[in-house]
Amino acid sequence: MTKFRQATKVIGVLAIGLGVMSAAQANISCGGGGTPSTSCPTWTFNQSGTIVGNTATLKLSESQTNSLPAGVTSAVAKAYSNLGGTNSLLQQAYIGAYGAMGVTDSKTATGGAPTIADTADFSSPNHAVDNSGNIDSILFSFTSDKVNLTSFTTGYESGDADFTVLAYTGSGIPNLSALTYGNTGGATGLLQNGWTLIANTNVSGAVSGGTTHTFANSVVSSYWLIGALNTLVGGVQDSQKDYFKILSVSGCDCSTAPKGTPGCGTNNGGGVPEPGTMFLMGAGLFGLTRINSRRLVRRTV
């Protein structure tokens, strides 16, 4: 009888352990450097109808066009480029072109906002996010929560699609118009002012679009900067320049990230254990309770 009780106790402990492991595995499916699960949102920016050659249709910002699950933060995208050359301050550019987000540079800017479009950027592929001359990037701002972005999908690619990703991990709201790209830019460099390098990625060739590019990481931030490969923050340029347009970005916001994700604070809802997980843990606890109740009865006899 003693051996039976010991065996039952072991089975109970194992059941609880399996339940805990199952819960942990359910929670790492999204964020934390892993691959986003289906519960993690995608923010889509469909530029249908925008004509890049018509200055009147060019925009300074874009909001995601798809519906989001309840509680998931919305996103706004803006374009930036180092319009004055290597060590110049970043300036806001126009965003949007032919079905996905590209960057049309400005000739002049006041307070970071473009005032006159550079018509040289109206032609293909220069109205894409590119590093031919100036280095173009798109800033994604998430309005009410932090996000762990892990991929973006293109709507267009030409030549090559190497890319750079940075996330803002500093305090307050970043002011890109006061900064330069350069990691040797002294007081004005991005990496000296709260920005963290997430990825400098060389991909093998380009396709016509619809490719998803991943950059696994465990950073959460309200501000993400995705652009053509940037040698000024450590990227290594190959023989081809990079041209692509961004259609969507994906990852976990804090309401869908695993519970306890660093940086999410009280907004972190975490995953809900599956029914099988709850059954395993419940079976283990029931077994241990039965053993303890029998011991109490024997002691009182």
Model confidence pLDDT, tens digit, residues 159-186: 899 999 999 999 999 999 999 998 665 6
On whether residue 267 sits in a domain, the answer given is no
Domain count, the chain: 2
Residues 11 and 142 in one domain: no
Domain assignment present for 35: no
Asked if 282 and 232 sit in the same domain, the reply is no
User: DSSP letters along 92-155, please?
Assistant: EEEEEETTEEEEE-EEEEETTEEEEE-GGGGSTTTTSEE-SSSPEEEEEEESSS-EEEEEEEEE
Q: Which domain holds residue 18?
A: 2-28+272-300
**Domain match, 252 and 276 both:** no
Q: What is the mean pLDDT of residues 182-206?
A: 86
Query: Which residue in this structure is represented by tokens 């997980």?
Result: 277
What per-residue confidence (pLDDT) applies to 288? 43
Q: Does residue 161 fall inside a structural domain? A: yes
* Together in a domain, 208 and 286: no
In a domain, 204, yes or no: yes
Q: How many residues does the chain have?
A: 301
Q: What is the pLDDT of residue 274?
A: 39
* Shared-domain flag, residues 177 and 140: yes
Residues 147 and 175 in one domain: yes
Q: Is residue 11 part of a domain?
A: yes
Within-domain flag for 215: yes
The answer on 134 and 235 residing in a single domain is yes
Report yes or no on whether pTM surpasses 0.85: no
Co-location of 294 and 152 in the same domain: no
Task: State whether 115 and 16 are in the same domain.
Answer: no
pLDDT higher than 70, residue 116: yes
Q: Do 192 and 225 reside in the same domain of the chain?
A: yes
Tell me: do 204 and 58 sit in the same domain. yes
Distance CA 105, CA 260 (A): 41
- Mean pLDDT on 67-93: 89
Q: Which helix (H) or strand (E) holds 168?
A: strand 163-168
Same-domain status, 78 and 191: yes
